[in-house]
Structure 1
């Protein structure tokens, strides 16, 4: 399934790594570690956020020695080296907020569209330096396949080598330098005048990502050791029973860095967000594959079965409802989702398949499964592949609901789209993004033959209504 993703990762990644990073304090000042505001600054912390195209550095939290009046702050109060300041307000903790609150922390929000905002990259065999295969939504142009990479099908490039291992994730450190350029006023009325001293972050907060814990599953059946990330509901109660969502990453994320799958995009973290957990408490499982599990020959390695065994093992160690096990994945992970549903038909209650395919000759068991499939019509392999699978499902007597969506639609439109499909009451739903709509207009104009594989999942995992549908399903 590495066909288009590999090609895109190699070309899109370079932009992320060549962009200038935030600099540390300049050699002309020795007060950059923590000394702004005439000595009133206690610390500075970088704050990150995961987007569809990967983790970004999006704010600095500056801790003062007294509560700061948020109403007295503005974007002109601070300057960040190499970055665009979009919002400044006070808060009671080192966290971003919709509205400011008087507190000891001043939050300096930074534009996620800055060239140096993106932290995520991958240095493994299927991602040359950055972007993690997150094409399309990142704003980078997507080139078409060269003749030397052609498989005989226009726009399709060769897939990965089965079992190929990945390197360490090239995740840049979130580090920035800020200067207080305006007066900061405490709630008691004391004015801290502008100060030319530079303050550099010394710590990092990674919302949601930091809530996952890292473990290794030593599978006695396959002999494989599989690293994985696990989110346990914050109010976990052994007396209750919880659902579990399994997310499987694409082949460009194959890495020896355990948390790579958490920062490459939204596929894992969207299920563990405070908003989602408030509505649907659940365990979230995100294995980190050190090698390619399945390639275009559809003959998976032992990590495939080890994944199923890991899910089963967790149900014996936590209070997890075996009737509410769900799977999802993008590209290679989508292939694994389809393959696992075929080989282990009683394991998952429902699955969200994003930009994947499997041999249609093996697809008949999928007619008995609850599936939501999303793919871009411009995806030159996954789209025809899923078309063939849905025909097999329909031939087996299962009705499939189909819909074509605009990939540029917002949350409100997507919610209405999902509602319309749900009204049909089918167990298999097939939503496709209209060709070209997962890319920006500028990208389409620049290259009408741009590949639309990687640009599917940065959008698909933002659709909250699909996640809601998944959790409504039971065995």
Structure 2
């Protein structure tokens, strides 16, 4: 984890930092910066990615002395348009289970707040229900309407994939807050409450900051791909590492390069400290400037460019050709299926989330190791996966099946995974039972609701990482 403020070109201090074509980062009001608050040195926004996207989850206020954590409470700070849930001291600008005396005061915020959302789509809880005020913690900066290729720009009415249409927006992470109570240092110095408004001037994006952004020029297709790459923290070229390719859905088309990292857990879950402790691996997440494949199943050349990018990175780093994996949601799931058919030696296993592919060409999937997850309420993807698994069975390959409750606890999902694995089939097919992927009255579709749950289940990722191309 590291602190980062995204800056593009010659952006002046205090302006929103731009990445790609959208605003992403933090803004500082030159008239109300944290440095003018006397003993306060800085204020840093802390973000975290959830199943429904990135959210602003805390502010780290840095003081000039170590702070006594026992003197803090949820009433010590007030954050504009946000609900304070926890306040404690820490030695770094980071979240913690328990406070410890340090120069940073961590003000944690509710993930349920409307203004928490930093990834905004046309559906679901990550879409603000009201327009934030001028002092809100988040101000949307939409992408431009220009586009290239066949997909159309976000919001530009491009092809629909499943039921997700291009139109996601990354919102700048910014918070304003006031110290409402007394803060006491470990030396006994008391910092009295003040009416001075503090504004965050930097951002820590948990896990997201651990990825680096690159571009790949593919001479074979003439395409240029922007992509995010996570390199294992202790990368040793003398060792051999797995690689996970995550491909996003159409709502993430043509946003900032970081789009696939902030739209949900599909990319970042593999790079979490917990997963890396179990399975050190590279994580690759391309950002597509146009829809690669829609429901007509006619991929653009970005499809082949993606396969070429995987091969290029395999040569550049010490990546094991027998332990490359693919996953994706909706459009990305379709690409994972299509790539597994066209390039049979590219991946050892695939995690398919809410996707489909024409069953009349699905026979080669009988030779693949697959974990498929879809909602029974998702008519197109559910019927599509039923057709695919029928073909796989007809080819003589065993398919383990189960129906899951999308409202299950982590422990229940862990048991579900164990039960499906116990069938010892190369293809695992789980479907969420009707009415369990979205809450009653929610505007989120079951299609999109599927991947908000899918990537929260670590047991599936563990199964994927155990597969190898050379073990049959």
TM-score range, shorter chain: 0.7 to 0.9
- Please list the CA deviations of residues 270-327 of structure 1 after superposition, one character each: whole Å capped at 9, or x if unmatched: 1111111111110000000001100111110101011011101111000001110000
Taking the TM superposition and a 5 Å limit, the aligned residue runs for 1:205-216 are 205-216=204-215
CA distance in 1, matches of 2:62, 2:193: 16
- Please list the CA deviations of residues 127-185 of structure 1 after superposition, one character each: whole Å capped at 9, or x if unmatched: xxx35x5x378798xxxxxxxxxxxxxxxxxxxx9822335963221111111111111
Taking the TM superposition and a 5 Å limit, the aligned residue runs for 1:73-92 are 73-92=72-91
Secondary structure, in 3 states, of the residue corresponding to 2:305?
A: helix
Find 1:163's aligned residue among 127, 147, 150.
150
1:115 aligns to what?
Answer: 114
1:34 aligns to what?
Answer: 35
Is 1:199–2:186 an aligned residue pair?
no
CA 1:66–1:316: 2 relative to 1, 3 Å: same
Find 1:459's aligned residue among 439, 453, 457.
453
Q: Is the 8 A contact 2:27 2:201 kept in 1?
A: no
CA distance in 2, matches of 1:31, 1:333: 43
1:397 aligns to what?
Answer: 396
2:335 aligns to what?
Answer: 336
Secondary structure, in 3 states, of the residue corresponding to 2:150?
A: coil
Secondary structure, in 3 states, of the residue corresponding to 1:270?
A: helix
CA distance in 2, matches of 1:233, 1:162: 33
Tell me by how many angstroms 1:35 deviates: 3.4
Taking the TM superposition and a 5 Å limit, the aligned residue runs for 1:321-360 are 321-360=320-359
Tell me by how many angstroms 1:33 deviates: 3.8
Q: Is the 8 A contact 2:168 2:251 kept in 1?
A: no
Q: Is the 8 A contact 1:380 1:451 kept in 2?
A: no
CA distance in 2, matches of 1:251, 1:441: 25
1:288 aligns to what?
Answer: 287
- Please list the CA deviations of residues 220-261 of structure 1 after superposition, one character each: whole Å capped at 9, or x if unmatched: 111111111100001000111100000000111111421111
CA distance in 1, matches of 2:188, 2:34: 26
Taking the TM superposition and a 5 Å limit, the aligned residue runs for 1:218-297 are 218-297=217-296
2:5 aligns to what?
Answer: none
1:7 aligns to what?
Answer: none
Q: Is the 8 A contact 1:24 1:177 kept in 2?
A: no
Tell me by how many angstroms 1:451 deviates: 3.7
How many aligned positions are there? 414
Q: Is the 8 A contact 2:243 2:283 kept in 1?
A: yes
The TM-score, its normalising length taken from structure 1, stands at: 0.84
CA distance in 2, matches of 1:269, 1:350: 18
Q: Is the 8 A contact 1:119 1:173 kept in 2?
A: yes
Name stretches of at least 5 consecutive residues in structure 1 with no aligned partner. 1-21, 122-129, 141-160
Q: Is the 8 A contact 1:57 1:118 kept in 2?
A: yes
Secondary structure, in 3 states, of the residue corresponding to 1:173?
A: strand
2:303 aligns to what?
Answer: 304
Q: Is the 8 A contact 2:34 2:41 kept in 1?
A: no
CA distance in 2, matches of 1:219, 1:442: 45
CA RMSD of aligned residues (A): 2.1
Is 1:472–2:459 an aligned residue pair?
no
Name the structure, 1 or 2, with higher relative contact order (CA <8 Å, separation 6+).
1
CA distance in 1, matches of 2:126, 2:337: 25
2:15 aligns to what?
Answer: none
Q: Is the 8 A contact 1:162 1:295 kept in 2?
A: no
Q: Is the 8 A contact 2:33 2:201 kept in 1?
A: no
CA distance in 2, matches of 1:90, 1:137: 29
Secondary structure, in 3 states, of the residue corresponding to 1:44?
A: strand
- Please list the CA deviations of residues 178-234 of structure 1 after superposition, one character each: whole Å capped at 9, or x if unmatched: 111111111122221212211111111111111111111111111111111100001
Tell me by how many angstroms 1:34 deviates: 3.1
Taking the TM superposition and a 5 Å limit, the aligned residue runs for 1:2-13 are none
Secondary structure, in 3 states, of the residue corresponding to 1:75?
A: coil
